[in-house]
Amino acid sequence: MAKSSSSAFFDTYLSRGFLLSGLAGVLFLLLTGGLLAGIRGLITAFLISIVYAGVVVTLRILYVRKRNRKAGNETLAPVMGRIMFDAVVKMKTPVFICDNEERIIWYNTATEALFLPENRLSLENKLYGKTVSELFGVSLAQIRDDKSDAGAVLTCEERTFTAKYNHIKTDDNDFALVVTTETTETERLQRVMADSELVVMYIFVDNLTEMMQYDSENYRMAAARADQILREWAEECGGILKGYERDKYLFVTENRVLNACVSRKFDILDRVRAIRAGDSELPMTISMGIGGIHGSYEEKERAAHAALDMALQRGGDQAVVKGDGSIDFYGGITKTVQKRTNVRSRIVSGELVSAMKKASNVLIMGHRYADYDSFGSCVGLARMAMSCGARVHVIVNPADRGILGCREMLESEEDFLGVFVDAAMGLDLLETGTLVVISDVNNVKQLESVDIFSRAANVAVIDHHRKVAEFERPLMIEYIEPSASSASELVSEMLEQVLDKDELLPHEASLLLLGIILDTQKFTKNTGTRTFSAAMFLRDCDAEPDTVMHLDRTSLDDYMREGRFRQNVMIYRGVTAITCPRNDAEEAGPADQVIAAKAANNLLTVSGVEASFALIRIGDTIHISARSQGRVNVQLILEQLHGGGHYNAAGAQLAGVSLKEAVELLKGAIDTQVK
């Protein structure tokens, strides 16, 4: 395009005429200034000419630079385009362009080089027209919609890439430019680093003391065999095993070893469980706490210690892996052996008494649909609070018929006037210094009032069920002992430590004894020396077995309701029985949960039945009661349905499912434990 006349003139002027003009101006000013003003005029004229010349030179420099820049851009544009095109073609990672139908219309050399040589020969430039999903398994829309910093993930020929979407708009069409970055090596290195990350494990031999009691001569051989198996296992894994006490070990290894142990479901538990002391039938078992979290060595050690505590609180013979935001359980297939010592009971009772004395008031509660063990243990804890001079209330459901007889039994006791309140009143009684004591439950969802627990600053838990999960916040006191037969047994032991014999009233002792009797099925299940010792203490406090057993008698209406379970029994897997009312539409209440538990107990009297499950719908929730003869761990079965309990007795609640769906879910859980 031709330049304009003014531009040409300006160009000519600045390129050729500025010197002549400057000299002429200087000469003219010198002559006129000299004639008019002499020497002073000459000096002034000279200075003005210098300024003029400087302005002209500056304009010339700016103009030349502008003209050269424009000429340079016009010259470099095609060169830069060619350079950029060659750079994209030769990029080491795939780059391709797609049309608005998500079909590839252009790709660079790296895209074609993705495919194996034998596959590449068969392509013959047939990548054109292929869709992104056909080649990489991810649609172009998924790449476009991925807003993460890294981008969408593509996989091809065992290589991985992240892809970024770029929109190209022309006058006629829209195109998509996809630029990828290979992450294959990065991910490999990340896996190597993850596999080599440190893992801390605590290992505890559960029942070495019990082995000594059963066979004082051969237990040393069994202990030595257990130590040998653990050291052989540590050598196989490639870790460091150090014993820091007679029956305690610290094992440090890598994360890859933990993954291998998880895949084998911690078979070391089975290898140790096969050890026997002489002719004893008591197996040796170990508990393992594993800190599988990311963090510092100190954090990993604390996580491993917390995991070991949970393994012991669940009854031992299991491995607990504490990860980032998750807890996994392995093992736990043997019965819990009851410990003879009550040292921990003495320590906990002292801590609880101290906390009660410092509290402004004490609120006590058990689980929803309270049974005799829950109610009896709450009454015992209320007596402990009264002995400390604390203001105490027990949270109950006034509409619960299952404990109506127990409450009527305490009506004659002046100390219990106004003690029993509902959950709404309990919230009103909650203060900054309130101590909330929870008995016979460690699952927050099953509490009589979840709101009271969540709002209380100080909480203590006394329970005998296996722990299913960690609490979201630290507790003031946590006393969970799965080896105990009942919460009433634990509370009775604590009362024996802190009360005089005459302080526990006969009705209170009777209710505690009733909780023990029913949870042990009249001292036939999960009993030990501590169970009978607690019962002896309660009898010394004038507990009346005949009186409390009268409370467990069934009304005619309940007897007829229980008959509904006998009419619909299914034998599953040959050794388990599942029962539920045939007519699911019939309305059921909290009392029916007790009836379901009795139905599950009665099914164990059927020949060949090793475990029984009774299901009942109450409102929108399916309640499951499970019982076992001792060969099937019903607690592990119902844990899969977010329930829990004991080896021989457990329960679960399922919301939002039909009775038929609940039965199918239960069958699936049984399949994992009964082959």
- Asked if 334 contacts 283 with a C-beta cutoff of 8 angstroms, the reply is yes
**What are 339-358's pLDDT values in tens digits?**
545 677 888 999 999 999 99
**What are 180-218's pLDDT values in tens digits?**
888 888 888 888 888 888 999 999 988 777 666 666 667
- Asked if 571 contacts 577 with a C-beta cutoff of 8 angstroms, the reply is yes
| Tokens of residue 672, six digits | 């994992």
3-state per-residue secondary structure call for 275-294: CECCCCCCECCEEEEEECCC
Interhelix angle 372-387/487-498, rounded to 10 degrees, is: 20
Res 57: pLDDT = 56
Give residue 60's pLDDT band: very low, low, confident or very high (50, 70, 90): low
Using DSSP, state whether 548 is helix, strand or coil: helix
| Tokens of residue 397, six digits | 């459901």
Give residue 11's pLDDT band: very low, low, confident or very high (50, 70, 90): low
**What are 370-406's pLDDT values in tens digits?**
888 999 999 999 999 999 999 999 999 988 877 888 8
| Of 439, 453, 436, 423, the residue nearest 359 (C-alpha) | 436
Give the predicted TM-score (pTM) of the model. 0.63
The rounded distance, in Å, linking the Cα atoms of 646 and 168 is 65
| Of 52, 55, 57, the residue nearest 30 (C-alpha) | 52
Give residue 285's pLDDT band: very low, low, confident or very high (50, 70, 90): confident
- What is the rounded average pLDDT of the residues 217-238? 86
pLDDT greater than 80 at residue 80 = no
- Asked if 137 contacts 128 with a C-beta cutoff of 8 angstroms, the reply is no
Q: Which residues of 88-118 are buried (b: 16+ CB within 10 A; e: fewer)?
A: beebebbbbbbeeebebebbbebbeebbeee
**Measured CA angle at 565 (ends 561, 568), to 5 deg:** 135
The rounded distance, in Å, linking the Cα atoms of 450 and 591 is 21
Give residue 511's pLDDT band: very low, low, confident or very high (50, 70, 90): very high
